């Protein structure tokens, strides 16, 4: 029975934070030793798109009416339907300086962030067509999609005067690989009851980085980023607590002048093309007729120029009870800048099987999703630190109602003593 309880606790906490933002490996080593480390992080979450729908959309041949209806019912008409995906992989190497209070490190990472707002109306139009809405006007505004992928190489400094505190700063050069940003600000589609009139109004803005140069690490932007990290142990409630405060990827990117910008302000009432006279028609090029008859309604600006884009930086405060063995607790809050990511707060409960091995369970709310559950396991010795996380357990276990999946693994090795 005892074994069963241990197994249950282990399994339930075998993962990481759900949408708590991942911490780079360099944040976990002090300045007194050289180290190398690598980690990878993939996370997707949504407060509106369920795993069931996403799985069927991405991996199954057919979306049934039931799936589409269930998904549609989960969506709202406003801007609250958030979805986001993050990917990160990195390698870090650090060296201690002679004083052992100071250390420097080199950090190389590849990152990707995508997020979107999909309104119920846009989803319904996409998955059902316009016929079910004949006689009505669909409001298609407030849909948004943004993705950015970039690589960074950073040089950092760590100061650790005492065993219970550490301060780090890293300055990174950013290479922007790709940027896609589109925002349908105001849009509507009216379909008359028999379909003889379509009225489309749309005001949209979009940026797309150079589409001819999209290979891995393609250089389409440059930028700078600043990371700050502080770790401090404090006493309270008869326990020792570690507070980690991090600011990650606070910076900007400047995309080259091959970046396309689209500004569309369109109002079209379309009832079919009309050519009144046969002779006149035959004497004209049909392309001219079509272009003339439609272009008069279009108001679109398209140009290429340099575009500045701020990085979706992260702020996170993490509080963890420090115990050598037994149960421990914690919590935290995460914010994301220039993002639709909502503040994410969480509570953790963990079990330290020994000083080397811990498991942890997290229950949080916010971020790209709503209620989220995650689990983590960590093994740490004097030289080795390894961890694995699985997040969004709620979505994995109840995919019809929740959306998301998160996984992270990492390993670091410290040299010397």
Partner 1 sequence: MNAFFRHKTAFLIALSLVVFSQCKNAFTPANWSIDVLAPIAIGNVNFSDLVVSDYLTSDSNDLIHLTYSDTIIRLGLDTLVGIPDTTIEEEFVIPIGGISFPPGTPFYVDTLRTKYKLNDIRLTYAEVRESLFTVELENRIDAPLLVRYTILSATKDGKEFVIEERLAAKTDFDDQFNLDGYSLDLRGIDQNTYNVLNSVVEVMIDPNETQSHTFSAGDRFAIKNTFEKIIPEYAVGFFGSNSTDYSDKTEIDAFNLLPVKAIDFSDFDVSLAIDNGIGADLELTIERLSAVNAHNSTEAELQHDIIGKKQQFGRALNLFDDQNPVKHTQKNYSFTQQNSNLDALIELLPSTIEYEIGIKTNPLGDISLGNDFIYYGHDLALMLDLDVPLSLGVEGLQLIDTFDLEFKRSDVAQLEQLESGYLNIYVDNGYPFETSIQLYMHNSDSTILDSIWTENTLVKSAIANGHGDVLESVESLIQVPLTQELIDRLDEATLVSFKGTVNTFDKQIIHVRSTQNLAFKIIVDVTGSVQ
- The DSSP letter of residue 26 is G
195 vs 326 by CB, closer to partner 1: 195
Q: Which stretch binds partner 1 (CB under 8 A): 87-95, 115-123, 230-238, 381-389?
A: 115-123
Phi and psi torsions of 358, nearest 5°: -135, 150
Q: How far is CA 378 from CA 203, 249, 353, 361, 406, in A?
A: 49, 25, 10, 12, 16
Q: Please report how close the Cβ of residue 338 comes to partner 1 at its closest, in angstroms.
A: 19
Asked whether position 78 contacts partner 1 by CB under 8 A, the answer is: no
- Residue 288 has phi, psi (to 5 degrees) of -65, -45
Q: Mask of contacts with partner 1, 286-305, x by CB under 8 A? A: xx-xxx--xx--x-x-----
11 in the Ramachandran plot: left (φ > 0), alpha (ψ -120 to 50) or beta? alpha
What is the closest distance, in whole angstroms, from the C-beta atom of residue 245 to partner 1 in the complex?
34
132 is a site residue for partner 1 (CB under 8 A): yes
- Interface residue with partner 1 among 42, 145, 240, 386 (CB under 8 A) is 145
Closer residue to partner 1 in complex, CB, 127/139: 127
CA angle (166 as vertex; 163, 168 as ends), nearest 5: 155
Residue 246 CB, nearest distance to partner 1 (Å)? 29
Residue 130 binds partner 1, judged by CB under 8 A: yes
Is 409 a binding residue for partner 1 by CB under 8 A? The answer is no
**Smallest separation, CB 288 to partner 1 (Å):** 10
Q: Is 109 exposed, middle or buried (0-12, 13-18, 19+ CB in 10 A)?
A: buried
Q: How many angstroms from the chain centroid is the CA of residue 185?
A: 21
Work out whether 189 is an interface residue with partner 1 (CB under 8 A).
yes
> Total number of residues binding partner 1 (CB under 8 A)?
59
Integer angstrom CA distances of residue 196 from 190, 271, 276: 11, 6, 18
- Binding partner 1 by CB under 8 A: which of 11, 186, 236, 270? 270
Is the Cβ of residue 78 or residue 132 nearer to partner 1 in the bound state?
Answer: 132
What residues contact residue 238 under an 8 Å CB cut-off, 6+ apart?
Answer: none
CA distance 1 to 173: 54
3-state secondary structure of 65: helix
Which among 191-199, 231-239, 356-364, 391-399 is the span making contact with partner 1, rule CB under 8 A?
191-199
Q: How far is the CB of 99 from partner 1 (least distance, A)?
A: 48
For residue 2, what are the CA distances in angstroms to 9, 43, 285? 11, 34, 84
Cβ neighbours of residue 195 closer than 8 Å, sequence gap 6 or more = 131, 134
Contact segment (CB under 8 A) with partner 1 among 137-145, 219-227, 250-258, 375-383 equals 137-145
**One residue of 281, 303, 327, 415 binding partner 1 per CB under 8 A:** 281
Nearer to partner 1, 287 or 417 (CB): 287
Which is nearer to partner 1, 155 or 298 (by Cβ)?
298
Nearest to partner 1 of 234, 301 (CB atom): 301
Distance (Å, rounded) from C-alpha 209 to C-alpha 304? 9
Residues 6+ apart with CB under 8 A from 7: none
Assess 329 for contact with partner 1 (CB under 8 A).
no
Exactly one of 34, 169, 200, 411 binds partner 1 (CB under 8 A); that residue is 200
What is the token pair recorded at 76?
């709202």
- Name the residue nearer to partner 1 (CB basis): 123 or 346: 123
Q: Which residues bind partner 1 (CB under 8 A)?
A: 56-63, 65, 68, 114, 116, 118, 122-123, 125-132, 134, 140, 143, 145, 147, 180, 182, 184, 189, 191, 194-198, 200, 270-278, 281-282, 286-287, 289-291, 294-295, 298, 300
């Amino acid at each position: 029975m005892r074994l069963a309880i241990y197994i249950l606790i282990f399994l339930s906490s075998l993962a990481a934070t759900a949408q708590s933002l991942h911490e780079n490996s360099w944040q976990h080593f002090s300045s007194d030793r050289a180290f190398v480390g690598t980690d990878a992080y993939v996370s997707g979450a949504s407060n509106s798109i369920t795993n069931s729908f996403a799985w069927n959309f991405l991996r199954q041949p057919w979306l049934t009416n039931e799936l589409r209806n269930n998904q549609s019912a989960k969506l709202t008409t406003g801007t609250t339907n958030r979805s986001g995906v993050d990917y990160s992989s990195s390698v870090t190497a650090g060296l201690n300086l002679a004083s052992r209070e100071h250390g420097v490190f080199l950090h190389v990472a590849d990152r990707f962030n995508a997020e979107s707002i999909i309104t119920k109306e846009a989803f319904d139009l996409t998955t059902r067509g316009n016929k079910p809405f004949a006689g009505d006007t669909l409001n298609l505004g407030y849909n948004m999609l943004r993705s950015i992928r970039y690589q960074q190489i950073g040089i950092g400094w760590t100061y650790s005067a005492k065993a219970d505190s550490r301060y780090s700063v890293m300055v990174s050069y950013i290479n922007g690989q790709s940027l896609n940003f589109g925002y349908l600000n105001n849009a509507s589609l009216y379909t008359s009851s028999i379909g003889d009139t379509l009225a489309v109004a749309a005001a949209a803005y979009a940026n797309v980085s150079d589409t001819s140069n999209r290979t891995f690490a393609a250089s389409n932007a440059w930028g700078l980023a600043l990371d700050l990290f502080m770790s401090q142990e404090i006493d309270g409630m008869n326990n020792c607590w570690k507070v980690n405060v991090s600011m990650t990827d606070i910076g900007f990117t400047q995309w080259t002048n091959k970046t396309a910008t689209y500004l569309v302000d369109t109002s079209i009432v379309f009832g079919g093309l009309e050519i009144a006279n046969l002779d006149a028609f035959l004497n004209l090029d049909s392309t001219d007729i079509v272009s003339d008859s439609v272009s008069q309604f279009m108001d679109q600006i398209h140009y290429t120029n340099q575009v500045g884009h701020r990085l979706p930086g992260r702020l996170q405060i993490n509080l963890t009870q420090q115990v050598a063995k037994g149960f421990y607790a914690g919590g935290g809050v995460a914010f994301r800048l220039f993002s639709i990511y909502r503040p994410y707060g969480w509570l953790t409960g963990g079990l330290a099987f020994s000083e080397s091995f811990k498991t942890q369970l997290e229950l949080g709310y916010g971020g790209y999703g709503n209620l989220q559950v995650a689990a983590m396991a960590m093994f740490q010795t004097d030289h080795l630190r390894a961890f694995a996380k699985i997040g969004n357990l709620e979505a994995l276990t109840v995919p019809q109602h929740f959306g998301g999946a998160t996984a992270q693994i990492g390993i670091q090795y410290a040299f010397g003593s």
